[in-house]
Structure 1
Amino acid sequence: MKAYTLNRYSKDDKLQLVELSEPTVQENEVLVQIHSASVNQLDLKLKSGEFKLLLPYKFPLVLGHDVAGTITKVGSRVSRFKVGDEVYARPADFHIGAFAEFISIHENDVALKPKNLSMEEASSIPLVGLTVWQALVEKAKLQKGQKVFIQAGSGGVGTIAIQLAKHLGAIVATTTSAANFEMVKSLGADVVIDYKTQDFETILKDYDVVLNSQDEKTLEKSLRILKPGGKLISISGPPDTASAKELGLPWFLKTVIFFLSRKVKIQTKKRNVAYSFLLMQANGKQLAEISALIEAGIIRPVIDKVFLFEQTNEALSYVGSGRAKGKIVINVQL
């Protein structure tokens, strides 16, 4: 099969198109012929080595965390899927590889593709959908009437987070450029701030939840808009000791992470707010719940651009530019 591989950590190196053996299927896995994949910031962070402490991958590595396609083989103990099923998934860490023609995935990480989505649309959902679900439903336990600040509302995570937060009954504030105001309002944003000309810290006050996806400076400002007892959940770092424990990292990495998160811990204690880092986990059951919301018309995908498989490096560059509105998709099978 054809696949794009990474041979070392590098911001600048391009992925190499190579021939690899078709993946072997373990007893609890399904083999998926990939129709479409999508590109995430996580792919760029892994490529550059930014997450090498948390996710120490071996090379050569096939990137790609989102997949939609058709099952062509099932393992001997697979009970929930059959050959021919159209599915989508976010493969588990250390089992990624969507920038390829085939991938084997544990059945627990797979869900049936929403009936009302194309393959391209479906491949845009898993990572951002699960990230938002685990942040707002699992960690924040967002309630009706609460106020939530979702940074970068026109991005891949932001577009889905706004829709889920509105479904949960929250009052939603977000940041974006003036050109994207109408789009984020159409998704359900109540308060929209132009990050180029306005300072959200002077506008927002007494928020219950912040979903942080930006830099350290934005995180510090976000802590100041929370009310006492509020929660900040970050998908961009710094990692905290709880996430290090969840990942089962060795003691010396836990020590490193303790010092990386020390500053934000001091700030949260002073303000009587909570901080947690979210490294999203694959979960087919949660993805099936997201599918139900999609099929009910509550959540819809937002896609900026679809690239051909041979344009995979261009797709990564476009995501890296920060200009994408919603998700960038790669069509593997044409």
Structure 2
Amino acid sequence: MKAVVINAYGGREELKAIEFPKPMPREHEVLIEVYATSINPIDWKLREGYLKERLPFKFPIILGWDAAGIIKKVGAKVTEFEEGDKVFTRPATTERGTYAEYITADASLVAHMPKESSFIEAAAVPLAGLTAWQCLVDFAEIKKGDRVLVHAGAGGVGSMAIQIAKAFGAEVIATGSSKSQSIIKKLGADHMINYMTTPLTEAIDEVDIVLDTIGGDSQEKSFEVLKPGGVLVSIVQPPSQERAKEKGVKAGLVWLEPNGEQLATLAKMIEEDELKPLIAEVLPFSEDGLKKAHELSETHHAKGKIVIEVKKEEDK
């Protein structure tokens, strides 16, 4: 099978298309023919070597954490799926990722694709959607009426978070640039703060939940707009526990845990028009396509998810 791998940490030039052995599913796994995958910042951070201590993989590493496709084989103990099912997944952490024509995944981490969704739309959901869900629902325990601040609302996680928060009946404020204003409004945010022209602390206060997707100064300023008893949840760096104690808030870093049941919940939200993936660009499954995708992601300015089309839907 074709796969795009890295054989050393470094720049985009390390991405190489090669022939790689096709995996075979274990008894609790399924074999998925991948029709689409997508790009996340963790891809190029791992490629650069920033995460080599936390994720000490062996080369060659196949990057990628999202997949949508068709089940081609089921393990002996898999009962909830069968060959031909359209599914999507965020597989377990492994050096064998989703930049490949075939992957295996534990059945517990797989869900049926939303009805009427394309493979491209489904591939944009798993990592970003699960991250937003676990930040807002699991960690922050979001409830109706909460005021929620989402940093970088037009990004992959931010765009999912806005919609999930609205589905729970929250009031949502999102940050972004003037170029993101129409997108953020379309996603359902009640208010937008232009971070380029308006200081956060002058625009808002008394927030129940802050989802930090940026870190640094944005995270520091976020403490100042939280009400006592509020929650700051980050996906980029651990918030200061000293500052959290001082402000009387809960703060923490969420590292995504793959979860098929939660993915099925997201699929249901998509079917009920409560959630729609925001697609920034679709690129081909090739060395050049992956290099371009990483380049776009590294700008931090992509509006939504960058998707890689591995196989065209009409070819199934």
Report the TM-score when normalising by structure 2. 0.95
Specify which of 244, 249, 255 is matched with residue 268 of structure 1: 244
- After superposition, residues 252-331 of structure 1 pair within 5 angstroms as 264-310=240-286, 311-331=289-309
CA distance in 1, matches of 2:229, 2:49: 34
Q: Could you tell me whether the CA contact under 8 Å between 1:131 and 1:280 is conserved in 2? A: yes
Aligned Cα root-mean-square deviation (Å) = 1.2
Q: Could you tell me whether the CA contact under 8 Å between 2:12 and 2:291 is conserved in 1? A: no
Q: Could you tell me whether the CA contact under 8 Å between 1:128 and 1:156 is conserved in 2? A: yes
Q: Deviations over 1:38-66 (max 9, x none)?
A: 00011122112222232222221000100
Three-state SS of the structure 1 residue aligned to 2:58 is: coil
CA distance in 1, matches of 2:138, 2:200: 26
**In 2 relative to 1, CA 212–49 (structure 1 residues): closer, same or farther, beyond 3 Å?**
same
Q: Could you tell me whether the CA contact under 8 Å between 1:114 and 1:294 is conserved in 2? A: yes
**In 2 relative to 1, CA 18–31 (structure 1 residues): closer, same or farther, beyond 3 Å?**
same
Three-state SS of the structure 2 residue aligned to 1:108 is: helix
User: Which residue of structure 1 lines up, in the alignment, with residue 47 of structure 2?
Assistant: 47
- After superposition, residues 215-226 of structure 1 pair within 5 angstroms as 215-226=215-226
CA distance in 2, matches of 1:312, 1:12: 8
Q: Deviations over 1:273-322 (max 9, x none)?
A: 11111000110000001111000011011101100011111111111122
- Segments of 4+ moved more than 6 angstroms: none
Offset, 1:215: 2.5
What letter corresponds to residue 186 of structure 1 in structure 2? Answer: K
Three-state SS of the structure 2 residue aligned to 1:144 is: coil
CA distance in 2, matches of 1:205, 1:96: 44
Q: Deviations over 1:110-140 (max 9, x none)?
A: 0001112100000000011100111111111
Taking only the aligned residue pairs, the percentage that are identical comes to: 41
User: Which residue of structure 1 lines up, in the alignment, with residue 176 of structure 2?
Assistant: 176
Q: How many residues align?
A: 310
User: Which residue of structure 2 lines up, in the alignment, with residue 93 of structure 1?
Assistant: 93
| Residue 83 of structure 1 pairs with residue 58 of structure 2 | no
**In 2 relative to 1, CA 286–299 (structure 1 residues): closer, same or farther, beyond 3 Å?**
same
What letter corresponds to residue 331 of structure 1 in structure 2? Answer: E
What letter corresponds to residue 105 of structure 1 in structure 2? Answer: A
What letter corresponds to residue 317 of structure 1 in structure 2? Answer: E
Q: Could you tell me whether the CA contact under 8 Å between 2:13 and 2:291 is conserved in 1? A: no
User: Which residue of structure 2 lines up, in the alignment, with residue 157 of structure 1?
Assistant: 157
CA distance in 2, matches of 1:169, 1:40: 28
Offset, 1:12: 4.5
Offset, 1:95: 6.0
In structure 2, runs of 5+ residues without a counterpart are: none
User: Which residue of structure 2 lines up, in the alignment, with residue 190 of structure 1?
Assistant: 190
Three-state SS of the structure 1 residue aligned to 2:262 is: helix
Report the TM-score when normalising by structure 1. 0.90
Three-state SS of the structure 2 residue aligned to 1:4 is: strand
Q: Could you tell me whether the CA contact under 8 Å between 2:66 and 2:89 is conserved in 1? A: yes
User: Which residue of structure 2 lines up, in the alignment, with residue 72 of structure 1?
Assistant: 72
Three-state SS of the structure 2 residue aligned to 1:3 is: strand
In structure 1, runs of 5+ residues without a counterpart are: 239-260
